[in-house]
Amino acid sequence: MSALRHALLDYLHLRRSLGYKLSRAEKLLRQFLDYLEAAGAVAITTEHALAWACQPKNIDSGWRSQRLSVVRGFANYLQNIDVHAEVPARDLLPWRPRRASPYLYTEQDIVALIEAAKTLSSPLRVATYQTLIGLLAVTGMRVGEGINLDRDDFDATHGVLLIRHAKFNKTRELPLHPTTVSALRSYLDRRDRQRLRVRTPALLISPAGTRLLYCNVHSTFKRLVHQAGLLPRTRSCRPRIHDLRHGFAVRTLIEAYRDGADTRQRLTVLSTYLGHVDPAKTYWYLSASPELLGRAAERLERHGGGRP
């Protein structure tokens, strides 16, 4: 194993000990080292990093910038142990990320997605995607968290899901509504699932009896969006599976305003439920919904006695 590959293992171990998962970064960096070895290079140079980041020629500027950023992080680490390592400048491939506008699904949209899942190739696949979409909609969990759930993470007796090793390696429990508990029980008790003699501990499985793959879930969800007839609202507001999480957060806050509840307390609880490191990470959802902003403004005006 080359010195660079040894250094990569140490780098990934260090970053992961700080809570980063780096699955995509590891894949990209291994590809970059393959490129260096093919070029006969024994150290990272700006020239090689830039040439690799721009491959293939038809990728967009954002993806090029992300590829170079991954290399830059590794090169920064290498400079502490290898004086020959060059760190590419930040402005080599400038790019300003644009945050997508959340596509807030209506209840009818979610029903349409679940109905669209009936067109999938097998009864078990239908049930799996209907269960996944419903679970994401009513818990606001991240897609990766849903895929990583094991059967033992579901406590049907107490109606709780355990989210393990989430973002920043956090673990949390999610209380579930009785209807959600019942739906998960029904899914686990399906005969076609039992006949597979599933070896994987995964809660949600493919027709082959394996854990779902992140890329396949996204690809299938795009098909379901098309099947359900859901269209982009603007160029930056397109139906994504992650927006089921946004919708859950917005509905929770809207219900707090409707009920006259303490929204600051509800926001703190919501932040914990979503797995955010601190409530400030949850505030971004406030700008996602005109209805939510309107209710916040009404309460502010009411508490301020009509004063601006």
Choice among 48, 245, 246, 251 that is catalytic: 245
Domain-embedded: residue 308: no
Indicate whether 119 and 32 sit together in one domain.
no
The C-alpha atoms of residue 160 and residue 178 are separated, in whole angstroms, by: 10
pTM (predicted TM-score): 0.70
- Counting the structural domains of the chain, the total is 3
pLDDT, block means (10 residues), the chain with 308 residues: 90 87 91 94 92 86 89 93 88 73 90 97 96 96 95 96 84 94 96 84 94 94 96 88 90 80 79 78 64 58 52
| pLDDT value for 271 | 84
In a domain, 101, yes or no: no
**The predicted structure's pLDDT at residue 165:** 81
What pLDDT sits at residue 194?
83
Domain boundary among 228, 260, 291: 228
Does 83 fall in a domain? no
In a domain, 32, yes or no: yes
Which of 67, 72, 142, 193 is catalytic? The answer is 142
Residue of 48, 67, 125, 276 marked catalytic: 276
> Does one domain contain both 26 and 127?
no
Does 153 reside within a domain? yes
Q: What is the pLDDT of residue 81?
A: 86
Regarding whether 205 and 119 lie in a shared domain, the answer is yes
End residue of a domain, out of 182, 198, 228? 228
Instruction: Indicate whether 63 and 149 sit together in one domain.
Output: no
Q: Which of 15, 240, 242, 295 is catalytic?
A: 242
234 lies in some domain = no
Angle (CA) 211-139-202 rounded to 5° is 15
Q: Which helix (H) or strand (E) holds 172?
A: strand 172-175
pLDDT at 134: 97
Question: Are residues 13 and 69 both part of a single domain?
Answer: yes
Of 15, 16, 167, 223, which residue is the catalytic one?
167
| Same domain, yes or no: 208 and 115 | yes
> For residue 242, what are its two tokens?
């992650």
Name the strands in the sheet holding 172-175, side by side, starting at the edge strand that comes first in the sequence: 154-155, 160-163, 172-175
Domain at 157, CATH number: 1.10.443.10
User: Are 191 and 286 contained in the same domain?
Assistant: no
Q: Are 275 and 196 contained in the same domain?
A: no
8-state DSSP, 213: P
- Examine the domain organization and report whether 119 and 191 are in the same domain: yes
pLDDT of residue 287: 60
Q: Which of 228, 263, 292 is a domain's end point?
A: 228
pLDDT at 294: 60
Can 142 be counted among the known catalytic residues?
yes
pLDDT at 227: 96
**Residue 15 annotated as catalytic:** no
Kindly give the pairing relationship between strand 160-163 and strand 172-175: antiparallel
233 located within any domain: no
170 is catalytic: no
Residue 110 tokens read as 């979610």
Burial class, 100, CB count within 10 angstroms (exposed 0-12 / middle 13-18 / buried 19+): middle
CB 174 within 8 A of CB 272: no
CA-to-CA distance for 35 and 56, rounded, in angstroms? 13
Please indicate, yes or no, whether residues 224 and 111 belong to a single structural domain of this protein. Answer: yes
- Answer yes or no: do 222 and 177 share one domain: yes
Half-sphere exposure of 267 (CA within 13 A, CB side): 15
Tokens found for residue 46:
């700006």
Task: Give the side-chain half-sphere CA count within 13 A for 229.
Answer: 4
| Domain range enclosing 295 | 243-303
The answer as to whether 89 is a domain residue is no
| Same-domain status, 200 and 292 | no
pLDDT at res. 216:
94
